[in-house]
Chain A
Amino acid sequence: MRFLHAIWADIRFQMKQGFYLVYVLITIMYLIILSFLPEDVLSVALPLVVFSDPSVLGLFFIGGIIMLEKVQGVLSVLVVSPLRTIEYLLSKVVSLALVSVLAAFAITGFSQYESVNWLILFLSTVLTSGIFTLCGIMINAGCQTVNQYMIKTIPYMLLFVLPCVTLIGFPYSWVFTIVPSVAALRLMLGAYTGINFYEAIALIVYLTGVNYLFLRWTIRVFENEIIYQE
Chain B
Amino acid sequence: MVQVINLNFTYKKTRKKAIHEMDFNIHEGEVFGFLGPNGAGKTTTQRLIIGLLRNYTGQIEVMGKERKKWGKEFYEQIGVAFDFPNLYLKLTAKENLQLISAYYKDRIENPDKLLDRVGLLPDKDVRAESFSKGMKMRLNFIRSIMHQPRLMFFDEPTAGLDPVNAHIIKDIILEQKSAGKTVFLTTHNMTVAEQLCDRVAFIVDGQIVVTGSPKDLMIEHGKRRIKVEYKQNGNLFEKEFEMDHLAENKQFTDILKNTDIRTIHSCEATLEDIFIKLTGRNLL
Contact = CB atoms under 8 A, between A and B. Distances in A.
Interface of A: 2, 5-6, 8-9, 12-13, 16-17, 72-74, 76-84, 227-230
B87 A80 contact: no
B50 interface: yes
Give the size category of B's interface with A. Answer: 20 to 34
A81 B99 contact: no
Contacts of B54: 228, 230
B75 A2 contact: no
A5 B103 contact: yes
B226 to A, nearest CB: 47
Q: Select the residue from A6, A83, A230 with max chain B CB neighbours within 10 A.
A: A230
Given A76-B82, A230-B11, A230-B54, A81 B103 contact: yes
A230 B143 contact: no
Interface of B: prevailing SS: loop
B24 interface: no
Interface of B: 11-13, 50, 52-55, 72-73, 75-76, 78, 80, 82, 84-91, 95, 99-100, 102-105, 143
B86 A73 contact: yes
Contacts of B78: 80
A9 B102 contact: yes
Nearest to A223: B54
B91 A227 contact: no
Given A84-B72, A230-B11, A73 B87 contact: yes
Nearest to B136: A73
Nearest to A75: B86
Nearest to A85: B72
Contact of A17 (B11, B82, B90): B90
Contacts of A73: 82, 84-87
Contact of A2 (B52, B55, B82, B103): B103
B86 A83 contact: no
Contact of B75 (A5, A9, A80): A80
